[in-house]
Amino acid sequence: MAQAIEQTTAQRREASAFAETKSGNAVLIDTLRRWGIRFFAGVNGGGVVHVAKHLEPYDDLSHSADPASRMLTMGEYVAGFVPLGHWLASGRIAGCVTTTGAATKLG
What's the chain look like in SS3? CHHHHHHHHHHHHHCCCCCCCCCHHHHHHHHHHHCCCCEEEECCCHHHHHHHCCCEECCCHHHHHCCCCEEEECCHHHHCCHHHHHHHHHCCCCEEECCCCCCCCCC
Task: Give the model's pLDDT for residue 78.
Answer: 85
Task: Give the model's pLDDT for residue 88.
Answer: 94
Regions in the chain scoring below 70 on pLDDT: 1-19, 100-107
pLDDT in tens, 40-61: 888 877 777 888 888 887 777 7
Task: Give the model's pLDDT for residue 49.
Answer: 81
Task: Give the model's pLDDT for residue 1.
Answer: 56
Task: Give the model's pLDDT for residue 8.
Answer: 55
